[in-house]
Structure 1
Amino acid sequence: MTLIDPLPVVICVPARNEARALPALLDALAALAWDQPAPTVCLYLDACTDGSEAVVRSAAAAMPFALRIAVGTDRHPSNAGVARAAAMAMGLDHLAGAEGLLFTTDADSRPRRDWIAAGRAALAQADVAAGRIARRNGAADAAQSRIERYYDRLHAYRRRIDPVPWEARETHHFSGGANLAMRSSVYQAIGGFRPLPFAEDATLLDDAARAGFRVRRDGAMLVETSSRRHGRAPLGLASALRAMDDGEPQRVAHPDAMAWQWREHAAMRFGFATIADGAARASLAGRLGLSADHLLGVARDCRNAEAFAMRIVPAPPDVGTLMTLAQAEDALTLLESQWCGAAA
């Protein structure tokens, strides 16, 4: 296990017209418990027109650690992915080529006091850590809470059928940019956040896994975020909450389809060490309807079993078939009961 305690921490935050939210974020960052060396906060203000820069600069002197500020302009096209990548670039620039730990959150979020310690502990076990995201006043959005519980159950089921040693015991499904941490070398190796208008966070986690890095979802690493209905990402949390307010039905993929993919991940991860054996290779290829030569070609490009499993297994054949949340909950309950029966 690589010791990471001495590594410097840089907290990277993008913000666009967040003058109202920034004081609470800065208060939460100032209250973080930290060890030596002291963390550095990098705030990327993305073409703000609401006085965000004045808010941040007035707070800078009172911060217990260094606060770096960069101001973007409208001269360059931007979106959620571009802005987060710009904030992370500030962090890399601060590290100046040295290894460090990059944390990122959102301007409307508040990391818990032990966020850095929890992130360090997670990254002692993995290369990228996705923490839990709790909504303020979440009880007021019962429908969203229900779907989050469903996805937590679904991810827990995934780790039953496809366990990995770096996963947290207190795991969850979240993959949001409001709560991520990673080694700087890993971030650079996968090319960073893509310039996407939404899902730049989930895409980064997928890129990391496909590159063979260990992605850990750790519930001990907690950030509280807002339940606002207006956000930057067109398909982010704010738009999901608006859709629920409008009475749109919640529809999700059938858990059977996801379970198929995760079983194959487990089989491919386990079988990676046997690729050189012709019979074993043919058996693995047959599971996926692929040729043994194709399987071997992919394996040769993979640095480890995790990369191979994530790259070789296709999307589930029925992943586009959606069902109501109630139907999915019932289907997942059946899968869980069958697993318990098999385990017994």
Structure 2
Amino acid sequence: MPHDLPMVLCIPARNEAALLPALLTAVGDLSGDRDLLHVCLYLDDCRDGSSALLQRIEPTLPFRLTVAHGSATDGPNAGAARAAAVAMGLAILDGGDGLIFTTDADSLPRRDWLLAGCRALAEADVVAGRIVRTDAVGDPQATRIEQFYDRLHRYRRTIDPVPWEARDTHHFGGGANLAIRASAYRAMGGFLHLPSGEDGRLLDDAARAGLRVRRDGAMVVETSSRRSGRSVGGLAGLLLSLDRGDRPRMADPRGSSWQWRGQASARESFASIDQLGTRTVLAERLGLAADHVLGVARDCPNAEAFAMRVVPPPTVHDGLVSLDEAEDILTGLEEQRCEIAA
């Protein structure tokens, strides 16, 4: 059971000396067996006294701490820093299985964070927890976008349900709140060295590999709404864009609905895909050749991987719409679903 496995908490930090004490205090207050927990801090080209700070406070910490230093010769790279932090954790696990947790230096995990992550990893291979902005009241537009995407993901799971999904599910998947089995991380190669978006890419790659990706609202981390991001893109970039008055544009939910319905059909078809009739029906639905569908299936270890790989991007309703339009379209889709269910 995951509750009995060693846990490594892997955190990249870049010039975060002012925030590290609060983070480490929150980690020290986490519920669970701290004998199983080892915290790994990767100081990414830090020049603000973070190292000296950690040397002073390490003897007072109620958990094991390992610190490593790196230099960013080509500038900040969120993916490389996060991968380096996890590499520290993998070295501690020394080839054995365990549970990897990730967060950020400007974030505070809630007291039951590890326990919630362990429970979630009993059902899945990768877990994206909920990230709550502590001062979200000051950013109503960003909150509205987050609520829209949460609604959209819940709608997705009504038309394409999977047994490992959390009842309290959500959309977002960020490195400030992820948990993954070490064996799964090794199998898929880990975080790519991307300037930003390495966390979302990890979740996409995990699903395409056939791993069970769960988005669990019970696993909560609080984070800031600061505008001074440590990497290009990400939350800080979105908030700055909204501050400038940029109007958000998002994919038409009708296109997403088409894609998710196709994935549901692909899951149902996988077990009998060798039958010509099964793959012909699926191919016609997806606008593909039956031989192509069979070829993809033969390269997939399970139905999850097949569903994620075989369904193409939507060819209908494939444009961008305003947030107002997206919300109205989603409301219509939800109402249609309720009518069908009734």
Question: Normalising to structure 2: TM-score of the pair?
Answer: 0.98
CA distance in 1, matches of 2:282, 2:231: 39
CA deviations on 1:267-317 (whole Å, 9 max, x unpaired) are 001110111111111111111121111111111110000000000011222
CA distance in 2, matches of 1:140, 1:251: 21
Question: 5+ unaligned residues in a row in structure 1: which ranges?
Answer: none
- Cα pair 2:45 2:70 within 8 Å, conserved: yes
- Alignment CA distance shift 1:75-1:331 (3 Å): closer
CA distance in 1, matches of 2:18, 2:286: 51
Q: Please, which of 294, 302, 309 is the counterpart of residue 300 of structure 2?
A: 302
- Cα pair 1:38 1:65 within 8 Å, conserved: no
Q: Which residue of 1 aligns with 2:17?
A: 19
Q: Please, which of 265, 268, 281 is the counterpart of residue 267 of structure 1?
A: 265
Amino acid at match of 1:310: M
Within 5 A, what are the aligned runs for 1:126-205? 126-205=124-203
Q: Give SS of 1:41's match.
A: strand
CA distance in 2, matches of 1:144, 1:75: 33
- Alignment CA distance shift 1:83-1:114 (3 Å): same
Amino acid at match of 1:100: G
CA deviations on 1:94-149 (whole Å, 9 max, x unpaired) are 00011000000011000001000000000000000000000011111111111111
Deviates further, 54-63 or 120-129: 54-63
Amino acid at match of 1:12: C
- Cα pair 2:12 2:43 within 8 Å, conserved: yes
Q: Which residue of 1 aligns with 2:218?
A: 220
Within 5 A, what are the aligned runs for 1:225-264? 225-264=223-262
In the TM superposition, residue 36 of structure 1 has moved relative to its aligned partner by 5.9
The two structures, once aligned, show a CA RMSD in angstroms of: 1.2
State the aligned residue count: 342
Q: Give SS of 2:172's match.
A: coil
Q: Please, which of 26, 45, 58 is the counterpart of residue 28 of structure 1?
A: 26
CA distance in 2, matches of 1:307, 1:233: 31
CA deviations on 1:140-185 (whole Å, 9 max, x unpaired) are 1111111111000000000000000000000001100000000000
Q: Give SS of 2:5's match.
A: coil
Amino acid at match of 1:51: G
- Cα pair 2:76 2:230 within 8 Å, conserved: no
Q: Which residue of 2 aligns with 1:112?
A: 110
Q: Which residue of 2 aligns with 1:53?
A: 51
- Alignment CA distance shift 1:124-1:238 (3 Å): same
In the TM superposition, residue 74 of structure 1 has moved relative to its aligned partner by 3.7
Q: Which residue of 2 aligns with 1:88?
A: 86
- Cα pair 2:31 2:112 within 8 Å, conserved: yes
CA distance in 1, matches of 2:166, 2:290: 34
CA distance in 1, matches of 2:36, 2:272: 46
Q: Please, which of 74, 97, 100 is the counterpart of residue 98 of structure 2?
A: 100
Q: Give SS of 2:67's match.
A: strand
Amino acid at match of 2:55: R
- Cα pair 2:129 2:220 within 8 Å, conserved: yes
Q: Which residue of 1 aligns with 2:281?
A: 283
Question: 5+ unaligned residues in a row in structure 2: which ranges?
Answer: none
CA deviations on 1:8-62 (whole Å, 9 max, x unpaired) are 0100000111111211111111111122643000000011111111222222111
In the TM superposition, residue 233 of structure 1 has moved relative to its aligned partner by 2.8
Amino acid at match of 1:108: D
- Cα pair 2:249 2:320 within 8 Å, conserved: yes
Question: Normalising to structure 1: TM-score of the pair?
Answer: 0.97
Amino acid at match of 1:41: V
- Cα pair 1:6 1:37 within 8 Å, conserved: no
- Cα pair 2:5 2:36 within 8 Å, conserved: no
CA distance in 2, matches of 1:320, 1:197: 27
CA distance in 2, matches of 1:116, 1:157: 28
CA distance in 2, matches of 1:334, 1:108: 38
